[in-house]
Amino acid sequence: MKVFSTQDELKSFLQRFSTNKSVGFVPTMGALHAGHLSLIRASKADTDLTVCSIFVNPTQFNESADFENYPITIDADIELLESVSCDVLYLPNSPEDVYKNEVPFSIETGVLSEVMEGKNRLGHFDGVMRVVKLLLEIVEPDKAYFGLKDFQQYAIIKNMVDKLGMKVDVVGCPIIREESGLAMSSRNALLSNTDKKKALIIYQTLKELQNSVEVGEVSDLINKGLEQLKQYTEPEYLTIAESDTLQPVSRLEQEKKYRAFIVARIGGVRLIDNIEIFV
Ligand code: PAF
C-alpha cells in the first residue's frame, strides 16, 4: 500500500494513475474495524484503485473531550488496510494539509441537518461536509463509500454531492455488527467489557421496534423503547423518521420507508445505531 502524507503527493500519484481507471474512496477517522474493512472491500470489488484516508477531523467535533479522547491506532490501522489490500492511504501530516485549499460554501440541507445529530451536535455536519468536500476534491473518486450506521451523515453527504453537482457516486454500505448485535464503531474501543454488555440493549431495542411496529401511532412504542434503554444507558434520543427526508414521525403510514434511530451514552461513550422499519 502506498502511503501519502500530503495532498500534493497524493494528487500527483492519482493523476498519473487514473486515466481510464476508476477510483474508489473510503474516508475514515481511523481506529479501523470490520465495518471500515467492509467499505474497502466494496470499493475494491467495484473500482480499479481504492484510496482510504485517515484523518480525525477537528471541525466536526462539538465536544473538545470527544476529539481529545478519539482513539488513534495508526499502526494497527495500516496493518488492517494491508490485510484487505487497500491500494493507497492518505494520512495527512496536519489539518492544514487537508484544509489549505478550502473555499467556503453553503448549501441547503433543510430538515436533514436540523434533526437528531444535527440538533444534538451543533456544527457537526458543517464540519463533516467541509472535510468530505475537500477530501472528494483531493481524491476525485468515481465512487465514495460510507457506512449506514451514520445514516444521517450518509444522507447529508449525498445531498451535498447532489447540490454541488459533484461527479461522484455516494454508496451507502450495510451496518456491520459484532456477533452480539452491537454495531461496529471506533468508539466501542472506549467501552469496558461490562459497558459493552450494557450496550447490547441498543440493538435489542431497535430489533424489538422493528418487530412490533404497525401502521398508526408509534409514540407508545418509542416511550417503551426509551424506558428500556434507560435501564442500562443514558439515551439521548430514540426517533422514528422517514428514510428519505429524516423527518421524525409519530404515526406510520403504509408504503412509506422508515428507520428507527438511537443515540445513547454508556460510561460517557456516545453510541449511535439505526435500523430499517417495515410496515
Ligand atoms: O464517518 C466518519 O468517520 C467521518 O465523519 C468522515 C466521513 C470520515 C468525515 O470525517
Three cell numbers written together for 2: 502506498
Distance from Cα 166 to the centre of ligand 1, integer Å: 18
Integer CA distances (angstroms), 272 to 1, 93, 204, in order:
31, 29, 13
3-state SS, residue 21: coil
Question: Are 140 and 22 in the same domain?
Answer: yes
Q: Is 239 in the pocket of ligand 1 (CB under 6 A)?
A: no
Q: Is the pLDDT of residue 125 over 80?
A: yes
Which residue is closest in CA terms to ligand 1's atom 3? Answer: 28
What percentage of the chain has pLDDT greater than the value 70? 100
pLDDT tens, residue by residue, 96-121 = 999 999 999 999 999 999 999 999 99
Ligand 1, atom 5, residue with closest C-alpha: 128
Q: Are strands 216-217 and 251-252 parallel, antiparallel or unpaired?
A: antiparallel
pLDDT tens track for 258-277? 999 999 999 999 999 999 99
57 lines ligand 1 (CB under 6 A): yes
Q: Is 44 exposed, middle or buried (0-12, 13-18, 19+ CB in 10 A)?
A: middle
Contact 131 CB / ligand 1 (< 6 Å): yes
Domain that holds residue 235: 186-272
Whether the per-residue pLDDT at 255 is higher than 80: the answer is yes
**Active-site amino acid positions:** 36
Q: How confident is the model at residue 19 (pLDDT cuts 50, 70, 90)?
A: confident
Give the ligand 1 atom nearest the CA of 157: 7
Number of domains in the chain: 2
**Does ligand 1 have an atom closer than 6 angstroms to the CB of 32?**
no
Look up cell 473510503; give the residue: 26
pLDDT at 126: 97
Taking 90 as the threshold, does the pLDDT of residue 146 lie above it?
yes
Q: Is residue 158 part of a domain?
A: yes
Residue 181 is assigned to a structural domain of this protein:
no
Query: Within 10 A of 19 (CB to CB), how many other CB atoms are there?
Result: 6
Q: Is residue 277 part of a domain?
A: no
Atom of ligand 1 nearest to the CA of 147: 1
Question: C-alpha grid cell for residue 88?
Answer: 493507497
Q: Which three three-digit cell numbers place residue 229?
A: 434503554
Q: Residues 156, 212: one domain?
A: no
pLDDT of residue 20: 86
Of 173, 202, 233, the position where a domain reaches its end is 173
196-206 tens-digit pLDDT: 999 999 999 99
If one residue of 33, 57, 138, 160 were mutated to test the ligand 1 pocket, choosing by the most ligand atoms within 8 A of its CB, it would be 57
Q: Is 29 in the pocket of ligand 1 (CB under 6 A)?
A: yes
CATH code where residue 156 lies = 3.40.50.620
- Would you call 117 exposed, middle or buried from its count of C-beta atoms within 10 A (0-12, 13-18, 19+)? buried
Q: In 3-state terms, what secondary structure has residue 130?
A: helix
Compute the mean pLDDT over every residue in the chain, rounded to the nearest whole number.
Answer: 96
Q: What is the pLDDT of residue 155?
A: 98
CA 53 to centroid of ligand 1, rounded, Å: 10
* Mean pLDDT, residues 147-173: 98
Point out which residues pair with 83 in neighbouring strands: none
Give whole-number Cα distances, 266 to 1, 29, 45, 152, 200, in Å. Answer: 37, 21, 36, 21, 11
> 152 CB under 6 A from ligand 1?
no
Last residue of a domain, one of 151, 173, 195: 173
Co-location of 8 and 104 in the same domain = yes
